[in-house]
């Protein structure tokens, strides 16, 4: 991996990306600590750090209510953080460069390639341009839809502000909302459970933000090219399966529980939103603490899988999950090659998927064990919190506002690792390796 020179410091692209998130979080923490950012005139350092990390890592977990405890200035700080964090600061920096009509250097192209999870720099600037255009159009459309609906309940100016804030938040899978100011602290979107405009707009924004910009670009090119890449096929097909299966299981498990008082339309909207939002959406119209434990565990599994690579979401990623399932299927059928859509998957990708999953599991297990010590809560609530932070989902069973200082620090680390990715952080921190000059003899070991 090529090193980049920054003021005499040689940094790899993963190190630059990780450092960029640290800088954004630090700046956000400083701004949120200012008296003008909070209604009471002061936020503790750890709470400001938590909120800045949650926004930059587009998680949505909040130790203070955004709608009631932050001023408009504080809310805008969060908005800027999750816009930069969702699209990526490299993408936003590229936007500034393009607006100023400056030349994009080779160093910047390498960073763009890494930030978008691309294997080649070919066409990377064009891809970034498309990402910016698609994001702007999608978020603007979402803002118009939300603002039109909110005008029924609030003044024009406030409805426009709420529309913009929630469209950017939900598209970037940040999950922050301002309705605590209207419906009570930490109320979320529960009052809109039967509202088709809010539900369908939210579902579309979460889905588009979660499939990744590479897939969006590929889909928009489909009428011209008449084909999709393997990556897009895997992401779209696996997403569809997870949504349908997740919705079916949620409907069955919650039919006589949280879904019981809802109308037929409300049941269907709540079912599909709850199946889509664990992909890192962070918004919910059904109170999670009231769900059955089996449903809560289902959401834990969906949050752990997460969204697609190159998207605004977290988790181990849909493609990782798909490759693992394909590998297991191939082994059970006695096949040597792992084939998806008539394409053989390279062994390197399988090793990467296994490594990513095991590292993520180890991280979540360790964090859950530590949180079980620091927090006085049921184990499932602690596990839910850990997975939500790692998967940058932002859903909670109500534990977040009650976290101890130690618990907040643990969740901050989880959110950061979940957004940057365990493998990216591992590459960023590993020392420079040397090429092996020899190989050991092959050994035999019994498995299973």
For the stretch 369-379, pLDDT in tens is: 999 999 999 99
Q: Environment class of residue 441 by beta-carbon count within 10 Å: exposed (0-12), middle (13-18) or buried (19+)?
A: exposed
Domain boundaries, the chain: 4-427
The helix/strand/coil state of 420 is helix
- Do the Cβ atoms of 200 and 180 come closer than 8 Å? no
Angle at 191 between CA 188 and CA 195, to 5 degrees: 115
Query: Per-residue pLDDT for 439 more than 80?
Result: no
pLDDT of residue 20: 78
Q: Which pLDDT value is given to residue 426?
A: 57
Number of neighbouring beta carbons within 10 Å of residue 220: 12
Position 93 pLDDT exceeds 60: no
Q: What is the pLDDT of residue 203?
A: 94
- Which run of H or of E encompasses 310? none
Q: Looking at the predicted structure, is the pLDDT value of residue 114 above 80?
A: no
CA distance 211 to 380: 28
The DSSP 8-state label assigned to residue 192 in this structure reads: G
| Least confidently predicted of 24-33, 346-355, 403-412, 428-437 | 428-437
Residue 435's pLDDT band (cuts 50, 70, 90):
low
Give the residue among 338, 333, 360 at the shortest CA–CA distance from 349: 338
282/209 Cα distance (integer angstroms): 12
Which of 108-112, 233-237, 296-300 has the weakest average pLDDT?
Answer: 108-112
- Tell me the average pLDDT across 110-114: 55
Query: Per-residue confidence at 112, pLDDT binned at 50, 70, 90?
Result: low
Q: Which residues contact 106 (CB under 8 A, 6 or more apart)?
A: none
Least confident of 26-40, 79-93, 385-399: 79-93
| Contact indicator for 198, 188 with CB cutoff of 8 Å | no
Q: Which of 419, 437, 423, 358 is nearest to 1 (CA)?
A: 423
- Average pLDDT, integer, range 1-24: 64
Q: Which residues of 197-208 are buried (b: 16+ CB within 10 A; e: fewer)?
A: ebbebbbbbbbb
Whether the pLDDT of residue 6 is over 50: the answer is no
271 pLDDT more than 90: yes
- Distance of CA 110 to CAs 103, 256, 426, Å? 14, 53, 19
> Which are the contacts of 33, defined by CB distance < 8 A and separation ≥ 6?
42, 43, 45, 48
Rounded to whole angstroms, the Cα distance separating 85 from 115 reads 11
Q: Which two tokens stand for residue 394?
A: 């932002």
- Which pLDDT band, with edges at 50, 70 and 90, does 414 fall under? very high
How high is the mean pLDDT of the chain? 85
Q: Which helix (H) or strand (E) holds 343?
A: strand 343-344
Structure tokens at 199: 């539900």
H helices of 311-421, in order, are 318-332, 347-374, 379-390, 405-420
Sign of CA dihedral 226, 230, 236, 238: positive
What mean pLDDT do residues 423-428 have? Answer: 58
- Paired with 11 in beta bridges are 4
Lowest mean pLDDT among 31-35, 128-132, 433-437: 433-437
CA-CA-CA-CA dihedral for 149, 153, 157, 161, to nearest 10: -60
Contact (Cβ atoms closer than 8 angstroms) between residue 130 and residue 213: yes
Sequence-ordered list of residues with C-beta below 8 angstroms from that of 151, at least 6 positions apart, any chain? 159
Is the dihedral angle over the CA atoms 296, 302, 306, 307 positive or is it negative? negative
pLDDT tier at 108, thresholds 50, 70, 90: low
């Amino acid at each position: 991996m090529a090193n980049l020179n920054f003021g005499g410091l040689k940094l790899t692209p993963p190190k630059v990306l990780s450092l960029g998130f640290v800088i954004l979080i630090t700046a956000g923490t400083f701004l949120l600590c200012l008296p003008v950012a909070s209604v009471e005139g002061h936020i503790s350092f750890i709470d400001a750090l938590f909120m800045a990390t949650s926004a930059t890592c587009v998680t949505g977990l909040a130790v203070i209510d955004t709608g009631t405890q932050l001023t408009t200035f504080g809310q805008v700080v969060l908005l800027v953080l999750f816009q930069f964090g969702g699209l990526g600061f490299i993408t936003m920096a590229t936007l500034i460069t393009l607006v100023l009509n400056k030349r994009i250097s080779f160093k910047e192209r390498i960073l763009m390639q890494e930030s978008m999870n691309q294997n080649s720099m070919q066409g990377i600037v064009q891809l970034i341009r498309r990402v910016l255009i698609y994001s702007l159009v999608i978020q603007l459309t979402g803002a118009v839809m939300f603002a039109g609906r909110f005008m029924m309940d609030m003044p024009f100016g406030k409805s426009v502000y709420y529309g913009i804030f929630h469209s950017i938040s939900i598209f970037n899978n940040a999950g922050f909302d301002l309705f605590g100011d209207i419906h009570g602290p930490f109320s979320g979107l529960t009052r809109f459970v039967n509202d088709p405009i809010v539900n369908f707009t939210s579902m579309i924004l979460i889905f588009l933000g979660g499939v990744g910009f590479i897939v969006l670009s590929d889909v928009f090119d489909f009428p011209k090219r008449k084909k999709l890449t393997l990556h897009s096929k895997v992401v779209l097909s696996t997403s569809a399966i997870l949504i349908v299966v997740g919705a079916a299981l949620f409907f069955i498990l919650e039919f006589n529980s949280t879904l019981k008082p809802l109308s037929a339309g409300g049941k269907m909207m709540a079912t599909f939103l709850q199946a889509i939002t664990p992909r890192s959406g962070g918004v919910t119209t059904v109170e999670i603490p009231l769900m059955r434990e089996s449903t809560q565990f289902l959401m834990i599994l969906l949050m752990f899988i997460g969204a697609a690579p190159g998207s605004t979401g977290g988790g181990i990623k849909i493609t990782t999950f798909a490759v693992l399932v394909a590998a297991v299927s191939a082994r059970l059928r006695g096949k040597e090659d792992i084939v998806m859509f008539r394409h053989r998957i390279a062994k390197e990708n399988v090793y990467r998927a296994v490594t990513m999953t095991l590292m993520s599991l180890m991280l979540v297990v360790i964090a859950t064990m530590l949180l079980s010590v620091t927090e006085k809560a049921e184990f499932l609530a602690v596990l839910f919190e850990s997975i939500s932070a790692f998967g940058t989902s932002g859903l909670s069973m109500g534990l977040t506002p009650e976290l101890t200082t130690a618990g907040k620090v643990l969740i901050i680390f989880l959110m950061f690792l979940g957004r940057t990715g365990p493998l990216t952080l591992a590459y960023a921190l590993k020392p420079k390796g040397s090429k092996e000059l020899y190989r050991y003899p092959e050994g035999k070991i019994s498995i299973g």
